């Protein structure tokens, strides 16, 4: 009996981080963005065309964890997009070190935190590890849209700006 309880607790501890990440993805809690598809975008565009929901400004920020010797920045600081329409921003990363970084990973969040459930990324460099050779630089696009349902949320109905923040770190650390 005691071994069964211990085994059950170990399973809960092992699966808790993955379950919490999934919960954040579904709810948008803690500024976690959504992953959208082309079909989701088409639906959002159709709703936006019917409703004339206005535009919203997206502010982009970037930082690197101190042990990662990379330059990392958005190529555009802000972009105004129509709610429900696809937007794109490019980030630039360059490996300033003398060694290859084989697993650069970006974490992200959106503020205000409640807006995460309405901010959907269709394509993002943050979906997979990035590899940069010494001195190599590259542009990295993010394709996104803001779900028209944001205008139905009483707390975000009048929101005019969302910030998308990325931090790059060496996943090997």
Give the pLDDT confidence of 57-76 residue by residue, as tens digits.
999 999 999 988 999 999 99
Map tokens 């999934």 to a residue. 22
Q: State how far the Cα of 31 lies from the Cα of 164, in Å rounded to an integer.
A: 9
Listed by start position, the domains of the chain span 33-170
Phi, psi of 120 (to 5 degrees): -115, 130
Tokens coding 157:
């109905």
Name the 3-class secondary structure at 94.
strand
Q: What percent of the chain has a predicted confidence (pLDDT) above 90?
A: 44
Q: State how far the Cα of 144 lies from the Cα of 164, in Å rounded to an integer.
A: 11
- What integer pLDDT is reported at residue 80 of this predicted model? 95
- What integer pLDDT is reported at residue 155 of this predicted model? 93
CA neighbor of 51 nearest in space, from 162, 163, 146, 164: 146
Tokens coding 169:
């770190």
- What integer pLDDT is reported at residue 169 of this predicted model? 86
Tokens coding 73:
């920045």
- What integer pLDDT is reported at residue 31 of this predicted model? 45
- What integer pLDDT is reported at residue 105 of this predicted model? 83
Give the architecture (CATH level 2) of 33-170. Sandwich (2.60)
Name the 3-class secondary structure at 39.
helix
- What integer pLDDT is reported at residue 45 of this predicted model? 65
Spatial contact of 145 and 41, defined as CB atoms under 8 Å apart = yes
pLDDT tens-place values along the chain, 173 residues long: 655 555 444 444 444 333 333 433 443 443 456 766 666 666 666 666 666 778 999 999 999 999 889 999 999 999 999 988 999 999 999 999 998 876 788 888 899 999 999 999 998 888 888 888 999 999 999 999 999 999 899 999 899 999 999 998 888 76
Break the chain down into helix, strand, coil percent, rounded to 5: 35, 40, 25
- What integer pLDDT is reported at residue 46 of this predicted model? 66
């Amino acid at each position: 009996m005691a071994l069964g309880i211990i085994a059950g607790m170990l399973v809960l501890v092992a699966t808790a981080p993955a379950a919490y990440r999934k919960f954040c993805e579904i709810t948008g809690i803690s500024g976690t963005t959504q992953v959208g598809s082309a079909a989701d975008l088409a639906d959002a565009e159709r709703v936006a065309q019917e409703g004339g929901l206005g535009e919203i400004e997206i502010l982009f920020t970037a930082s690197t964890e101190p042990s990662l010797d990379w330059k990392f920045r958005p190529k555009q600081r802000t972009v105004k997009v129509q709610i429900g329409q696809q937007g794109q921003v490019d980030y630039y990363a360059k490996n300033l070190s003398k060694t290859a970084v084989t697993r650069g990973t970006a974490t992200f969040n959106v503020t205000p935190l409640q807006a995460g459930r309405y901010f959907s990324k269709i394509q993002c460099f943050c979906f997979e590890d990035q590899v940069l050779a010494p001195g190599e630089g590259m542009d990295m696009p993010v394709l996104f849209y803001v779900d028209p349902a944001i205008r139905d949320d009483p707390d975000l109905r009048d929101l005019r700006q969302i910030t998308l923040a990325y931090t790059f770190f060496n996943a090997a650390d």
